[in-house]
Amino acid sequence: MAALQLRTLICTSITIKWYQRPSNVAHRKPFRRARCACEHAWKMRLLVITLEYAYSTFSGNGTYAVATVRLLRAAGHDVRVLCGAPAAGDNCAFAAEPSCVAVPLATWGRLDRQSDWQAFASKAGVQGETLLSGWAPDCVLGVDWTSVAAFEALLQQAGTTPRPPLVYCNWRVFSRSDPDALPLERHAVHVAAATIALSSVDADYIRQELLPPAGTVFVVHPPLRLDVYEHAKASQTHPRTLLCCCVRLSSEKEPHRFIEAVEELVRRNALHDVLPALVGVPRDSYGQELVARLRAAVPHAEIHTQFLSPQQLGDAVFSRALLNVHPCNYDSFAQSVVEAAAYGCPSLLDPTGVGAADVLRPSDGLAFSLTSSSTLADCIHALLQDAPRLLAVGRAAQRIALSMDEGSTATATSRILEQVVMKPNRRHVM
């Protein structure tokens, strides 16, 4: 990686790390230029390709995709969306709008190799002449590796149409847990003009395992959603008596570690007036078993197995929680950690593998560090004995979370796109 040069671009409150490829490729004219004199930003035609584009479905990617499109439009860009949707029912956010093309898929609820990604690509390909030849976007944003096959199908259908550069949003790095996804993600990164990661944890992995020598990866942290910000600001103060865990009930999020810790704390008689709370929809036997174990350990525990809106989650859990436990060793970002902080609830997390530690650093007194030298139960037990410290860290984390505004993220993303479109020599040739 000797050819890599590290630069840092500061966009208001967001830091973008830029691993730049050498400028040794012939310069090519950009597709279109139009500068807004008042905002000093290029106004572009952007095509967003994402398998999931919806609120309240099966992952955070759909929610963040919707927010990204909204923010880019608010910044003045002309954005169209190519997305997947369930064949039965209409759960695709904004799929009815003219600028969104939704492809019905037989398999819904997955983003990995078991998703309907091949059908997404083949059905999306027929839109090539409309979305590429006819509309001529300046740039394409593809969310995760499933978008790249669709992008290439569009290119094949469009024929000799000038190819817009692809900015690859690697919001979930599947190859960390699935080795068979490695060639798919490596291909996606090689095809892209630049890659966006959600955290330095993922950026480091992408640079070491996926990125070609002439590649570029940026880090843009997700913002606190505007509706969460507004609700958290207006939230009432409640007695903090909950010990909560709010992750997807699937093995990669490791919620079993939280259940095991609660069981151990019960054996120690260490919970006292603190009540465990679990938030997650049990979609399989793994999740159902965890719910049953928690009920057996603490019959009066608060268990939310139905989807909660951000406002409901704030009122029912985060505004009443003394500590949020994020149990997994790896998470691309962990937006629930930031949302908990917005309500004044600090988190216990692994700072070496959870992306949210980029902005809520335990070393800065903004979260608590789960170390390998102590068990999860030991860490929780020690923290529950120091309620004043928990409240103080929660207040400090709240100030940071409420400063993570959407405008900064929109500015950062727009500047990355401008760099790619206006300096096409950084594009990796397919």
Confidence of residue 170 (pLDDT cuts 50, 70, 90): very high
Question: Same domain for 64 and 177?
Answer: yes
- Mean pLDDT of all residues in 174-193: 92
Tracing tokens 């600001």 back to the chain, one arrives at: 233
The answer to whether residue 97 scores a pLDDT higher than 70 is no
- To which H or E segment does residue 422 belong? helix 406-422
| pLDDT tens column, 310-362 | 899 999 999 999 999 999 999 999 999 999 999 999 999 999 999 999 999 99
pLDDT of residue 34: 35
Question: Same domain for 156 and 234?
Answer: no
> In this structure, what token pair is assigned to residue 296?
């057996």
CATH of the domain at 75: 3.40.50.2000
What mean pLDDT value characterizes the chain? 84
pLDDT of residue 213: 79
CA distance 359 to 44: 30
Q: Nearest Cα to 82, choosing from 150, 160, 138? A: 150
Question: Same domain for 416 and 301?
Answer: no
Question: Same domain for 110 and 197?
Answer: yes
Question: Same domain for 185 and 301?
Answer: no
- Stronger pLDDT, 110 or 315, i.e. the higher one: 315
The answer to whether residue 36 scores a pLDDT higher than 50 is no
Amino acid letter at 265? Answer: L
Confidence of residue 424 (pLDDT cuts 50, 70, 90): low
Question: Same domain for 203 and 346?
Answer: no
- Mean pLDDT of all residues in 291-313: 94
pLDDT of residue 89: 57
Angle CA 374–313–224, to nearest 5: 80
- Stronger pLDDT, 4 or 55, i.e. the higher one: 55
Question: Same domain for 376 and 314?
Answer: yes
Instruction: Please give the order of strands across the beta sheet that includes 78-86.
Output: 100-105, 78-86, 45-50, 139-143, 166-169, 194-197, 217-219
- Mean pLDDT of all residues in 7-27: 33
Question: Same domain for 387 and 414?
Answer: no
Question: Same domain for 109 and 178?
Answer: yes
Q: For a pLDDT cut of 90, what percent of the chain falls above it?
A: 57
The answer to whether residue 241 scores a pLDDT higher than 90 is yes
The answer to whether residue 184 scores a pLDDT higher than 50 is yes
pLDDT of residue 265: 98
DSSP output for 153-203: HHHHHHTTSPPPPEEEE--S-GGGT-GGGHHHHHHHHHH-SEEEESSHHHH
Question: Same domain for 252 and 188?
Answer: no
- Stronger pLDDT, 320 or 409, i.e. the higher one: 320
Give the range of the structural domain holding residue 66, as residue numbers without chain letter.
Answer: 5-223+406-426
pLDDT of residue 54: 77
294 within 8 A of 301, measured Cβ to Cβ: yes
pLDDT of residue 94: 45
pLDDT of residue 41: 54
Question: Same domain for 199 and 264?
Answer: no
Strand partners, 78: 45
H helices then E strands: how many in the chain? Answer: 14, 17
The answer to whether residue 21 scores a pLDDT higher than 80 is no
- Mean pLDDT of all residues in 262-266: 98
pLDDT of residue 32: 34
CA distance 373 to 381: 14
User: How many structural domains is the chain composed of?
Assistant: 2
Q: Give the CA distances from residue 416 to residues 77, 219, 412, 423, in Å, rounded to whole numbers and listed in that order.
A: 13, 10, 6, 11
CA distance 203 to 17: 9
Tracing tokens 């007036």 back to the chain, one arrives at: 273
pLDDT of residue 39: 45
- Mean pLDDT of all residues in 264-281: 96
Supply the DSSP symbol for 90.
Answer: -
Question: Same domain for 150 and 258?
Answer: no
